[in-house]
Each structure stands twice: as C-alpha cells, then as structure tokens.
Structure 1
Amino acid sequence: MGVQDFWVVTVIGFCFQAQILSSQNLTCNPNDMKALEDFTSSLITVIDGWGSSFSSDCCKWEGITCNSSSSLGIGLNNSIDTFRVVKLELPSKRLAGNLSASLGTLDQLRTLNLSHNLLMHSLPTSLFHLQNLELLDLSSNDFSGPIPVDIELPSIQFLDISQNLLNGSLPGSICDKNSTQLWVLNMAANYFSGNLPQGFGNCTSLEDLDLSTNYLTGTSNGISKGIFRLRKLTRLSIHDNMLSGELSEEIGNLINLVRLDISTNGFSGTIPDVFHSLGRLQNFVAHSNRFGGRIPPSLSSSSTITLLNLKNNSLQGTIDLDCSAMTSLTSLDLGSNRFDGPIPSNLPSCQHLNTVNLARNNFTGEIPESFKSFHSLSYISLSNCSLSNISSVLQILQQCQNLTTLVLTLNFRGEQFPADPTLQFEKLKILIIANCRLTGVIPQWLSTSSRLQLLDISWNHLEGTIPVWFGNFSSLFYLDVSNNSFTGEIPRSLTGLPSLINGRISIEEPSYDFPLFMKWNVSASALQYNQVWSFRPTLDFSNNNLNGPIWPDFRKLRLLHVLDLKYNRLSGPIPSSLSEMVSLETLDLAHNDLSGIIPPSLVKLSFLSKFSVADNELYGVIPTGGQFLTFSSSSFEGNNLCGYDAAPCPSGQDGPLRTWFGKSSKDYTGVIAGVCVGFVFGIACFIGIDRYVWTF
C-alpha cells in the first residue's frame, strides 16, 4: 500500500469513526422511555440491565432494539435525532405481573415477544392497535379473560397467544383489517368457546392456523365459507375441541395443506373422498372422532401421505391400502376401530412404512407370512387383535430386521410362553406382552435382546424365578413383571442397572402418537394408550410370591422413580439406604413380612408422593417431616406403629414396649413372660446376695 492509499484509508476511517461517535449521541425517545418505565413498574420481577442505575438510554437495555427516527422515515421536530424502539424481546425471563397498556404507545414497535413468562390478567386493548407491529408473541403465559373484539393490526404477520387462560369467543375482526400479511395465527391451548368465525376466511395470506385445545363448537359445514377459503393454508390444527357433524367436502379446497389435524372432536359420518385434491398433504390426523364407513379410496391410495392416524373411530370393513400408490407412507395408525377380516398381507409392500398400529380391531386368522419380509418395520402394535399361536407370531416377526418395538398385549389367551432357542430379537428396545395369561417361565432367548429399554410381561401366569441376566440389560429403565407367580429372591443384579444408576435414559420415541399400553392402576381393565415418554423409570415386582430381603444396594438406583414390591413375601428390615434413591416418587412395600422400624432417613426422599408399608410386621415410631406429612394413615395400617395418624406413642418414650425389645407382635407375649420371670428371679437372688456383688 502506498503512502497516498494509506492516507485515503485513514481519512475514510476517521470519517467512519466520526459517524459512529455521532450516532452515539442519539438518545432514546422520551415517549418510548416512559412506556418502558410503565411496563417495568407493572411487573413484580426486575429485568436485569433495565433502569436508571444502569443506563438512561433505554436502547441499551437487554431485549431492546432501536432504530433512529430518520431511518424510520419519521420527520424530526428538532435538531436532535432520537432512537425509536422497534423490538422488545424478553422471552423466558420469568417475568411476572401485569402487562402495561403503555406498550401500546410504542408506535414504531415491529416485534413484541414476551413468550414463556409468568405474565397474567387481561391483555391491554392498546396492543391490538399498533399500526407497525409485525410479530406479537405472548404465548405460554397466564393471561386470562377475552381478547379485544376490535383488532386493528394492519402490519401483523405472526400472532401467537397460545397456551394461556384466555376465554370468550374468537374475534373474527382479527382478519377484517389484517388480512393482507398475516401468515401465522396460533390461539391454541386456551379456553375459547363458540363457533369458528367466518371472518377468518379474510386472512387470505394465512399459512399456519392453530386453534387446537379449546372449547370450540359447531360443525365444519358452518365454517365452509370461512376457513375453507384459505387456499394458502399449509397447516390446519383444530384438534381437541368440540366440533361435530360431518366433515365438509370443502376441505378439499385447501389444496396446499401439508398437515391437517382434526383429532379429538365429534366429527361423524364418513371421511369425504376428496384427498385427490390435496396433492401436498403429508399428515392426516383424525383420531378420536366418530367416523364410520371405510377408508375413502383417494386416501388409501394417496402418494403424498406419510402419516395417517385414524385410530379410535368406528371405521369398518377390511383394510384395503394401495401400497403400490402409497409410496410415501411411513406411519399408519388404524387402532381401536371395527376393521375385520385378515390383517392386511400387503403392508410389507409399503416400502417406507415403519410404524404400524392395528390394535383393538376384529381381525381373524394369524399374522401373515408376508411380514417376514417387512424389513422397513420398526414399531408394531397388535394388541387385542384376537391373535393366537404366539410361537408363530414371534417366528415371523423375528425376521423383521429393524424391529425395535413390539406390543402384543391382550392376545394368546392361556398359551405357553415359547422357549424356542432359535428366537432372536437383537434390535428390540420395547417389548410388551402383558395381560395374555401366558404360562411357563421367562425364556432364555429373551437374553439376546440386550438393547431392551422397556419390558412389560405383567398380568400373566408366569412362574419360576426372575432371571439374573435381567441385570445385563444396560439400557433397561422400565421393568414390569407384576401380577405373575414368580418365586425366589429379587435378583441382586438388578441393583446394578446402569441406566438407573448414572446412565442417561435415552428413549427413542416412535413416530407421532404411537400408542403403548400402560397400567394406570392395579386393575387390568385400566390398560390404556400412552406414549413411551409417559413411562417413568420403574421396577415393578408386585403381586408375586417373591421372598428374601430388600437389597440395600437398591440405593444405587438414583434415577429410579417407581419401586413397587407390594403383595409378596419379602422379609427382613427396610434398608435405611433407600433414602439415597433421590428420584423416587413411589415406594410401595405393602403386604409383605417386613420387620423392624421405618427408617427415619426416608424423610429425605423429597419427591416421594406415594408410600405404603401397610400390613407388615413393622413397629416403632412413624417418621415425621418431609413428604411423610402428606401420607394418610392407610399407608401405615396393619403394623404396630405409633405416632402421626396411628396410635399415639407412650408419653416420654420413643415407642411402645415392643419397640424396646425389638420384637414383633407375634413375640410380644413371650417378651412379657420373660420380663416377669426375670423379675422374680432377681428378687430371689437379692435376698442372699453378697454386699460386694450388689455394690458392683
């Protein structure tokens, strides 16, 4: 670089620096400053970096973005240019309090994001008259009451007030004067009621509309002139409402739909055969309605559908899918309907299909031999499908090379658990064969499923001992062998399960809303749909004939949430080391032969919400403090305990007489007799005792 070039660059640098210094003299607009001060005064919490003690220039405060008045094209009334607030972004700051109406005076505001806070009470009307506002996100707060009827946001593009406590009717005016640019409208998870307003049809640019999880009523035919006019709509979510009637054929007008979710409503009649018009639709979710009839041909041959969820309806007939046409299908859920005939043998020809739920239908026959070539299959539920011949089912499904989840609950009544040593499920992570009344013992071939995370073989008639090799399942976080006839001790190896000690429990969730059966309470009739994430880390050995001790090494299972040992024949003391199981929420030791005291250290279990030691041979004082103050007397009945809601302890003592001797109630009479004999013997000796001995 020559000298001349150097001076040119230097001069330019000084000019640029001068411009920066000049810009630093810009000050926050006084009106905007006043609006923000009013905003902070309405809050209970303090915003870090705000206030006069930090800076008198509000444009330097956290979450504030400003532009100069000149850059915004605003005429100046004096020679001093000022900054105007254009963005106020404070999401997830735990802000609490009211939302000040003064924010409506920030007339140059483009973005207002106060989502995921603790703000409450009503929404100021002034916010809905900001002429330049483009993004308004107040989601995930505690706002309540109705939203203003008169809304005028001509520049709005993104509006999200979901997950609040808002109620009243949806304002159709939101689209009357704001229809040209609004493309995202999310009002989900509130308490809105009434009909879907016709005015929503004026939001001609709308691409994403979410009105789910409210109390909206009416029929789809009543909104056909509204929502069904939104030709640019790509996502429509109106699930979890109270909509009813037949689904209008005008749904076919939404030619750009990619995702349509109308689940958990009261739609009835047949599903309209209009899916040939929906050439971009990938996800159709219509579960938990009252649809009847058959799957329409345009849906069962759609080349774009990737996820089809029609479970929990009243669909009937045979399942006729055109797998040669459904080249994109990956997830199919037809569970809880009235389908009959055979399980469709052509499913393996749906080349990308990996998730299948056919549970709770009226199928006949056995699982098709064609499933041996179902190599894309990862998750399948055939619960309650009147299946028989469990040996054949397992022989076929073991050929599915990528199978990781297998649910066969409520089938194979009274058959024997096959012990075929050729069976192998090396990739299996979830196996549920509950409530089948299977007989026999746990087969050795199950030990090859070393990747198991969740195993439920409850409510059967299995016998023998629980295998020691269960402790080799390094990823196992949920084990339910309850309501069987197992004997022997709980394998000590289970106290070393890595995933429950310091392992990171990693759950590979099946695709959208894939159902698994989980017992909500002890009744077998309470089996219901749940997803994998709803299964808390659990060891459930209840309702068997297990004996032996409760291993002190259970203390190592710091990630365990549920330990259920009730209705067995376990004996010995309750280890005080269980207090180290810091994640425990449920500890049920009822109806065993446990003896000794309740360890006081258990009060340290701060997450414990369910606890029972009823009907054992325990004695002494019921611990107080911590979660123990929340447990009812039924948690301790059937023992010889005192204190709390049980019988009061003797005055000045830690417990009843039996506590002093450490005896159970069965030995109480013998103890008293022994004391009496000893007393008489002592008096006799006293009469002729040597003075030296007595002094000693």
Structure 2
Amino acid sequence: MGLSADTIPPQLGNLSFLVSLDFSYNFFGGPLSEQQSWLGLLTKLKYLSLRNNSFTGFIPSSLSNLTNLRVLDFSFNYLQGYIPLELGRLHNLQFLAIENNRLSGNIPSAIFNMSTLITIGFTENELSGGLPSDMCSKLPLLRHIHLSENKLRGEIPTSLSECSLLQTVLLSFNTFRGRIPREIGNLKFLRILYLWSNNLNGVIPSEIGNLQNLAILGIEGNQFSGTIPLTIFNISSLQRLLLHHNQLSGNLPKHIGNLTKLKHMEIAYNNLTGSLPREIGKNFQLDTLLLNFDSFTGFIPLELFNMSNLRSLDLTDNSLSGGLPTNLDHGLPFIEELYLALNYLSGSIPDSIANCSKLRILDLSKNNFTGFVPHFLGNLRILEFLNLYGNNLRSESTSSELSFITSLTNCRSLNSLAISDNPLDGILPASIGNLSTSLQRFTAYNCKIKGIIPTEIGNLSNLVKFSLHENELYGNIPPTVNHLQKLQGLSLHDNYMRGSIPEILCDLNNLFYLLLSQNKFVGPIPECLGNITSLRYISLNSNMLSSSIPSSVWGLKDLLELDLSSNSLTGFLPPDVGNLVSATLINLSLNQLSESIPSTIGRLVSLTNLSLANNHLDGSIPESMGSMISLEVVDLSNNNLSGSIPKSLETLQHLDYLNTLEHDESEKAIELNHEDASEQEKKEMDVMIEDILVVDHVVDLNVDLKASIEVGIAIGTVIRETWRTSSQEDNQISFHKVSHPEDNDSD
C-alpha cells in the first residue's frame, strides 16, 4: 500500500540544513498543494526528486523559495494544472523535469529566462501554445529540450540555433507547422533531432547535412516533400534515419553507402522511385531496413542480401521483380523478419531460406513465385508468421495430401499461416491438427483444396480465424469444431459441403462472423444461433435450408449483416425484426416467406440494403419505412404486395434503388397509370421515362419518386426495375457486391 503525501511528516521542513531530498521510485501518493509549504522552508536544498510516484494535485508555487535548487524532478506522477510562473525565480536551476504528468496551459516565458538551465523536460503532458520566438536568447547553456507528446503548435523558432550547445531536441507528437528552420544546421553539437508526427511541410533543408555529430534524425510522420538532400548522406555519425510517412520523391541515391554507422533506416510510405542502389550493401552495420510502400522498381540488388547484421528487411508494396538468391542464408544469417509482399518477384522459393534459423516472420504474399510450397520451411523452428498468399505455388504431386503442412508441424511457435490464392490442388492432411497450439490464424481459401475438413482441426484450440472458402471441400462440418472456443471467424462459403448446420457451432461464444453460403447445407437453421451474441455477420445464402428463421436471430441487436437469401425458408417476418437496430444489410430474398411486412421494420435506421424479393409477402408497404433514414437499396419485387408506395419514402435522401414490381408488370403499370393521368401528368411522365431510359445505371430516385407519388404511380420503381433487369448480367446490384469481412490475407 502506497503512503500518501500527507504521511510525509511536515517536520521535514525543520531540516533547514537539508541539501538533497529524494523520494523517487516509491509508492507515495496523495495531493501536492500549497499546504505542503514545508517544502519552501528547505532553502538550502539543491536536489529535489519526487520522480515515479503517484502524487496528484498541483505544483506548489512555494518551490520558488528554493533558490539554491539545481535539480527539480517531478516526472511520472499525476500532477495537473499550470506550470507556476514562480519557478522562473529558481536562478540556479540546471535540470527541470516534470515529464509524464497532466500539466496544461502554456509554458511560462519565465522558464526560458533561466540562464542556468541545461535540461528542460515537459514530455507527455497536455501543454499548449507555441514556443517564444526568442526562446534561446537567454538559455546559453541549454543542452536538452524534451517537449514531445503535448499540444504545442506554431512554428519551430529560428532562434533555436542560438542554443548553440544543444545535443537533444525532442518535439515529436505535437502540432508544429511550417518548415524546419535552416538555422538548425548551426547546432554543431546536436546528436538527436526528433520532430516525428507534426504538421511540418516543405523540403528537408540541406543545412541538416552540417550536423556532423547527429546520431538520430527522426522527422517521420509529417508532410515533407521533394527529394532527400544529398547532404544528409554526408553525416557519417548517423545511426538512425527515420523519414517514413512523408511525401518524399525521387531516387534513393547511391550516397546511402556513405552512412557506414547506420543501424536503422526507415524511408517507407513515401513516393520514392527508381532502383535500389547497390551501394546500400556498404551499410554493413544496418540491422533494420524498411523501404515498404514506396515505388521502387527493378531487381533487389544482391548486395542487400549480404548485409550480415540485418535483422528486419521490409520491401513490401513496391514494384520489384526478379528472383531471390540461392544462398540467402549465407548473406543474412541473423534475419528475423523478411517482408517482400506485394511485388513482382518470381521463381521458386530458395531452399537456403530454411537455414535462416532466426527467422520469425516470412511474408512472400502477392508475388509471382512458382514451384512447390517447400517442405524445408518446417526447418524454421521459431517461425511465427508465414504468408504465401497470392502466388502460383503448388503442392508436391507425390501425394494427394498437402504434405508441406506436415512439415510445418515442426514450427512450434507458428501463430499465423496464410496460403490462400495458390493452386495447391490437394487434400488437408490429418496432421493439420498437429500444427502449433499457438496457431491463431489459418487461411487457405481459393486453393482447389478437396476432400473433407479433418476432425483433427479441433486440436487447434487457440484458432481465431479459420478460412477455407472458395475450395472444393465436401462432407460435413466436423463435430470437433466446437473445441475452437476462441474462434472469431469461420468462413467455409463457396464449397460443396453438405449435411445440416450443426448445433455445436452455438458453442463458439466468440464468433464474429459465420459465412457458410454457396454450399449444399440442408435442414433448419439452428435455433441456438441467436445465443451467440458476438455475431456481427451471418451469411447462409444459396444453400437448401428449410423451416422458419429461428426467433433467436431477431435478438442479435449488434448484428451488422444477415444474408439468408436463396434458400427455402418459410414462415413470416415477426415484429422482432425491428430489434436488429445495428444491421446495415438484410437479404431474405428468394425464399418462401409469407404474410405482411411488420411496421417495426421502421426501427432499422442503420439499414442501407434491404431485399425481401421473390417471396410470398402480402399487404402494403409499411409507412414506417420512411423512418429508415440510411436506406440505399430496397428490393421488394416479386411478392404479393398491394396498395401504394408510402409518401414517407420521399424523405429517404440516400435511397438509390427501389424495386416493388413483378417482372412482367412494369409495362402494364406504366400503361394503366398513364391512361388514368391528366394530360399534364402524361407529359411529365413521358419526359421522365424518356430521360431515364438513356441513363446508364445512375438515376436520382428522390426526384422520380416524388413525381411518381404525385401522379399516383411509382414511376421510380418502374425505372429501377428497368435498371435492375439491364444490370443483372454483371451483378451490379449492391447485394451482390457486399465484401466479406475475412477476404484479406495481406494483414
């Protein structure tokens, strides 16, 4: 139990001879305030530290009495309020650190008048305002200024160069704007410059090249443009170069080879082009090289694969081509992370990669690699992440099983395996159940996998995502799937699986999405499915399911998408459908639902896509649908609905598609209502129809619908029916374009 501030005896104030008071790294707590006036009595104090405790309250202004103080450190507490102006009276103070608190307001100008200061530290507070334009005019001894992670704004003062002894400048995670002042190049003792994550722009000043003692240059996360100044590559002392997440362009110059002390370089997320210079291989001390999400082209230079200290290499999402060297292990003996995804690399995966014994992460996804998925990957005993998604890899033809999976059972730390979008053309082996119990993610969709899902899959007790959709699987969902208690995503759609949807799925209490569409499942939807309150996506469409929709499904108030279309479901829509208040898509089309649409459907204010088409629904369209303010697509066609379209639908500003008619009644609806209309109304309708028929796919429904209501017919629905029919061949209706939450193996 931590002692409170009140338990620090005020009698300490009687120790007038005290020179040093250090309460750091304890569990003291409670509020500081002016009641701790005894602190102001210790006038001979030179060292005062309350660092790393749990003090709250405000900084006592009585500290200004400690005029002999050299060190004041209140960092890592919970202090709030303003920095007292009175601290400016501490004319002997050299070290001022009140970092990692909750201070607010401006930094008092008096702080910048304390000519003895060597260190100013206010990192990670909530300070605002700008820095004074003359901030360094009275700080001749200042060596360290730490102001990162605040709310400071304005421009970086050009007078910063007047603090000529500065060694560390930390201004990251603020909202500074404008350019880096060129005068910063005069700080010849500067070793660390961090300006990360501000709103700085313009070009990087070439004067930075004058900082010949600079070890760390971190200006990432800004809006710098132009090329990287060549002068930067003359800073022979540079160890960390961080330029990522800017708008830099041009080539990476061959002068990069001059930085022989460089250990960490990140120039990712820019617009760099051209080939990677061979000279990069001269940076033999480099352990981290991140050039991902740029636009480099050409081959990866062999010299890059001979950087023996390299531990992390990321070239993701460039336009690099060519193959990998056969002796990869000799040049990169310490490589731990190798990211080469989203390029145009080709050839086979070299055997030598199996000898990179420290490799933990291997991402070769979205390239043009060919040949077999190598068995030797199982030699990478500490491998944690393997992504081969989106290549042209096959499984060895000596067996119908995907035997490489058996070899991967040696990787006992494997937590993610992605092999999707490869023509593997084989059967899942029973050894899949012997993969690492750490495995959380297994994705193998669109791989021409045949056969059944082995029951041994139930051994993978930590599995979170399991995706085998778009294959040629058949058989039942294995009964052992209920052992996967951590499973959040199950995707088996677009296979040939059959049997009933087992009730054991209801044991998966963490399931986020269940995607079983485009199979041959029969029988009822399990009643218990609605007990999985974590479900957000249910897609069971295009099966042979029968019986009624379980009442429990309507209790999933957090469900986002429900697609049960193209089955043989019967029954009616209950009033409880209005409980799906979070849903954005409901598709129940092509079933055998009957009776009327309940008025409670109007509660679905988040719904954008609704299809009840091709059922046996009757009655009128509920007036309450005018409350469904997010609706964009509504298809109620091919039912037995009657009456007029509610006038309330006029208010639906986002509605783009509305279809309520039978396939063969569009022309009849026009003819009958056109005949009953007045001459003026006929002219308006003729003009509208003529205009609509020449528009390809895009119509302003709000205009059409209002006009149709005025003349007593839903002319907008007729027009939309025409649009729908003309676009069926290329599946343009929104219901066919909804993306599943699992369709991504690049993360």
Superposition TM-score tier, normalisation by shorter sequence? 0.5 to 0.7
Instruction: Tell whether 2:302 aligns with 1:292.
Output: no
**Aligned match of 2:179:** 169
Residue number among 103, 113, 120 corresponding to 1:111 in the alignment: 120
**Aligned match of 2:625:** 645
Distance 2:535 2:207 in 1: 52
Is the alpha carbon distance of 1:130 and 1:330 closer, same or farther for their aligned partners in structure 2, counting shifts above 3 Å? farther
5 Å-filtered alignment, 1:7-46, equals: 16=15, 19=18, 24-25=40-41
Distance 2:622 2:138 in 1: 67
- Please give the TM-score of this superposition, normalised by the length of structure 1: 0.68
Instruction: Tell whether 2:398 aligns with 1:388.
Output: no
1:149 Cα deviation from its structure 2 partner: 4.5
Deviates more, 1:343-352 or 1:288-297: 288-297
Asked if structure 2 preserves the Cα contact closer than 8 Å seen for 1:574 and 1:598, the reply is: no
5 Å-filtered alignment, 1:126-145, equals: 131=139, 132=142, 134-139=144-149, 141=151
Residue number among 367, 373, 381 corresponding to 1:375 in the alignment: 381
1:267 Cα deviation from its structure 2 partner: 2.5
Asked if structure 1 preserves the Cα contact closer than 8 Å seen for 2:172 and 2:194, the reply is: no
Is the alpha carbon distance of 1:23 and 1:315 closer, same or farther for their aligned partners in structure 2, counting shifts above 3 Å? closer
Asked if structure 2 preserves the Cα contact closer than 8 Å seen for 1:407 and 1:431, the reply is: yes
Residue number among 68, 71, 75 corresponding to 2:69 in the alignment: 71
Asked if structure 2 preserves the Cα contact closer than 8 Å seen for 1:495 and 1:553, the reply is: yes
Instruction: Tell whether 2:597 aligns with 1:619.
Output: yes
Instruction: Tell whether 2:417 aligns with 1:406.
Output: yes
Distance 2:216 2:506 in 1: 50
Aligned-partner residue type, residue 620 of structure 1: P
Instruction: Tell whether 2:223 aligns with 1:215.
Output: yes
1:333 Cα deviation from its structure 2 partner: 1.9
Distance 1:58 1:548 in 2: 77
Aligned-partner residue type, residue 296 of structure 1: P
**Aligned match of 1:313:** 318
**Aligned match of 1:230:** 235
Residue number among 597, 602, 618 corresponding to 2:579 in the alignment: 602
Instruction: Tell whether 2:420 aligns with 1:446.
Output: no
Asked if structure 2 preserves the Cα contact closer than 8 Å seen for 1:69 and 1:81, the reply is: no
Distance 1:393 1:192 in 2: 56
Asked if structure 1 preserves the Cα contact closer than 8 Å seen for 2:602 and 2:626, the reply is: no
**Aligned match of 2:52:** none
Is the alpha carbon distance of 1:59 and 1:412 closer, same or farther for their aligned partners in structure 2, counting shifts above 3 Å? farther
- The CA deviation string for residues 52-90 of structure 1, in whole angstroms up to 9 with x for no partner, is xxx8x3367xxxxx79322349xxxxxx99657964747
Residue number among 495, 501, 504 corresponding to 2:506 in the alignment: 495
Asked if structure 2 preserves the Cα contact closer than 8 Å seen for 1:548 and 1:571, the reply is: yes
Distance 2:496 2:277 in 1: 51
Asked if structure 2 preserves the Cα contact closer than 8 Å seen for 1:579 and 1:601, the reply is: no
Asked if structure 1 preserves the Cα contact closer than 8 Å seen for 2:15 and 2:42, the reply is: no
Distance 1:432 1:94 in 2: 48
Q: Secondary structure at the match of 1:356?
A: strand
Residue number among 508, 513, 523 corresponding to 1:538 in the alignment: 513
Distance 2:286 2:513 in 1: 40
Q: Secondary structure at the match of 1:394?
A: coil
1:668 Cα deviation from its structure 2 partner: 10
Asked if structure 1 preserves the Cα contact closer than 8 Å seen for 2:361 and 2:385, the reply is: yes
Residue number among 165, 187, 196 corresponding to 2:204 in the alignment: 196
Q: Secondary structure at the match of 1:645?
A: helix
- Please give the TM-score of this superposition, normalised by the length of structure 2: 0.63
Distance 1:14 1:168 in 2: 49
1:282 Cα deviation from its structure 2 partner: 0.7
**Aligned match of 2:561:** 587
- The CA deviation string for residues 518-570 of structure 1, in whole angstroms up to 9 with x for no partner, is xxxxxxxxxxxxxxxxxxx4333344454555545445545555444455547
**Aligned match of 2:699:** none
5 Å-filtered alignment, 1:151-166, equals: 151-152=160-161, 154=163, 156-166=166-176
Residue number among 255, 277, 286 corresponding to 1:281 in the alignment: 286
Instruction: Tell whether 2:335 aligns with 1:329.
Output: yes
1:346 Cα deviation from its structure 2 partner: 1.2
**Aligned match of 1:524:** none
**Aligned match of 2:276:** 271
1:300 Cα deviation from its structure 2 partner: 0.9
Instruction: Tell whether 2:360 aligns with 1:354.
Output: yes
Deviates more, 1:421-430 or 1:227-236: 421-430
Distance 1:646 1:493 in 2: 40
Is the alpha carbon distance of 1:209 and 1:488 closer, same or farther for their aligned partners in structure 2, counting shifts above 3 Å? farther
Deviates more, 1:161-170 or 1:250-259: 161-170
Asked if structure 1 preserves the Cα contact closer than 8 Å seen for 2:336 and 2:361, the reply is: yes
Deviates more, 1:590-599 or 1:285-294: 590-599
Q: Secondary structure at the match of 1:212?
A: coil
Distance 1:14 1:170 in 2: 47
Is the alpha carbon distance of 1:48 and 1:609 closer, same or farther for their aligned partners in structure 2, counting shifts above 3 Å? farther
Residue number among 58, 62, 69 corresponding to 2:61 in the alignment: 58
Aligned-partner residue type, residue 243 of structure 2: I
Asked if structure 2 preserves the Cα contact closer than 8 Å seen for 1:348 and 1:371, the reply is: yes
Distance 2:521 2:578 in 1: 26
Is the alpha carbon distance of 1:460 and 1:198 closer, same or farther for their aligned partners in structure 2, counting shifts above 3 Å? same
Q: Secondary structure at the match of 2:250?
A: strand
**Aligned match of 1:301:** 306
How many residue pairs get matched?
Answer: 553
Distance 1:338 1:116 in 2: 46
Asked if structure 1 preserves the Cα contact closer than 8 Å seen for 2:533 and 2:556, the reply is: yes
Asked if structure 1 preserves the Cα contact closer than 8 Å seen for 2:97 and 2:122, the reply is: yes
1:643 Cα deviation from its structure 2 partner: 4.5
Asked if structure 1 preserves the Cα contact closer than 8 Å seen for 2:313 and 2:338, the reply is: yes
Asked if structure 1 preserves the Cα contact closer than 8 Å seen for 2:16 and 2:42, the reply is: no
Q: Secondary structure at the match of 2:329?
A: coil
Asked if structure 1 preserves the Cα contact closer than 8 Å seen for 2:18 and 2:42, the reply is: no
1:347 Cα deviation from its structure 2 partner: 1.0
Asked if structure 2 preserves the Cα contact closer than 8 Å seen for 1:431 and 1:454, the reply is: yes
Distance 2:598 2:201 in 1: 56
Deviates more, 1:16-25 or 1:199-208: 16-25
Aligned-partner residue type, residue 494 of structure 1: L
Is the alpha carbon distance of 1:350 and 1:23 closer, same or farther for their aligned partners in structure 2, counting shifts above 3 Å? closer
Is the alpha carbon distance of 1:26 and 1:81 closer, same or farther for their aligned partners in structure 2, counting shifts above 3 Å? farther
Is the alpha carbon distance of 1:102 and 1:642 closer, same or farther for their aligned partners in structure 2, counting shifts above 3 Å? farther
Asked if structure 1 preserves the Cα contact closer than 8 Å seen for 2:135 and 2:159, the reply is: no
- The CA deviation string for residues 235-288 of structure 1, in whole angstroms up to 9 with x for no partner, is 212123232322112222222222111223232333222345323211111123
Instruction: Tell whether 2:635 aligns with 1:635.
Output: no
Asked if structure 2 preserves the Cα contact closer than 8 Å seen for 1:288 and 1:313, the reply is: yes
- The CA deviation string for residues 335-359 of structure 1, in whole angstroms up to 9 with x for no partner, is 2333333221111122222322222
Distance 1:409 1:133 in 2: 54
Distance 1:561 1:253 in 2: 54
Is the alpha carbon distance of 1:376 and 1:630 closer, same or farther for their aligned partners in structure 2, counting shifts above 3 Å? closer
Q: Give the alignment's Cα RMSD to 1 decimal.
A: 4.3
Instruction: Tell whether 2:184 aligns with 1:186.
Output: no
Distance 2:513 2:65 in 1: 56
Asked if structure 2 preserves the Cα contact closer than 8 Å seen for 1:429 and 1:454, the reply is: yes
**Aligned match of 2:657:** none
